[in-house]
Amino acid sequence: MKSFLVIGIGKFGNHLARRLTELGNEVMVVDSHEEYVQDLINVVDNVQVADCTKVEVLKSLGVNNFDTCFVCMATNFQNSLEITSQLKELGAKMVVSKANTDIHAKFLLRNGADEVVYPEKDMAENMAVRYHFNHVYSYTPLGDNAGIFEIGILDEWVGKSIRELDFRAKYNLNILAVKHGHNTNAMPTAETRFFGHEHILVLGYPKDVMKLTKDMKTL
């Protein structure tokens, strides 16, 4: 179990705090607007209404005791920048700040952020890839232009195993998981067989996914 501080409870901060709690962590949320944290009172371990741009407020929170501090300010970049910088000066172990633009990201990284996240940018990229390709249901970008793609299966694969399809050699893609309804086989072996209606998570490059899905007619 880890401990997290989430500052700024907009939609992103709210979802982040809830999911961290669901995973069994200790979570404190702080926002200067009481109405933003109301629905988290019975969800997370600690809810505070305070202005985190004030150094004395951050000191009172004991920011150096948290494994990670998230700065999730939705609209006021100046506040986000100040809080990020002050967190690091007060000894925060790990500071992750939300950015809306590349320029914001550069300033945040220069002023104490260990990592910057772009939830809107990531969502836009995911949607662009999903609708660009045929039969891509989700997408997670990785470095060097590679990614993890969720795609359907070909009807000709039904009844055959991954080994029989010689999948990696034929398609230049690695199968990471096989999903059938609500069930997921996260460690498929070469003997894993397709029965119909599955989705697969493959690791590879867009050009190879495009080649496979171009004329795909899924079950």
Q: How large is the average pLDDT for residues 109-128?
A: 88
123-141 pLDDT tens trace: 888 788 777 777 888 888 8
**pLDDT, position 213:** 86
* Domain 122-213 of CATH type 3.30.70.1450: yes
Q: Which of 141, 118, 142 is nearest to 129 (CA)?
A: 141
The segment(s) of the chain belonging to CATH 3.40.50.720 are: 3-117
The segment(s) of the chain belonging to CATH 3.30.70.1450 are: 122-213
Q: How far apart are CA 189 and CA 179, in angstroms?
A: 14
The token duo for 24 is: 């069994």
**pLDDT, position 3:** 97
- The helix (H) or strand (E) run that includes residue 31 is strand 26-31
**Fold of domain 3-117:** Rossmann fold (3.40.50)
Q: How far apart are CA 138 and CA 126, in angstroms?
A: 7
Q: How large is the average pLDDT for residues 161-184?
A: 94
| pTM higher than the cut 0.85 | no
Q: What are phi and psi of 106, to 5 degrees?
A: -60, -45
Q: How large is the average pLDDT for residues 76-93?
A: 95
18-59 pLDDT tens trace: 999 999 999 999 999 999 999 999 999 999 999 999 999 999
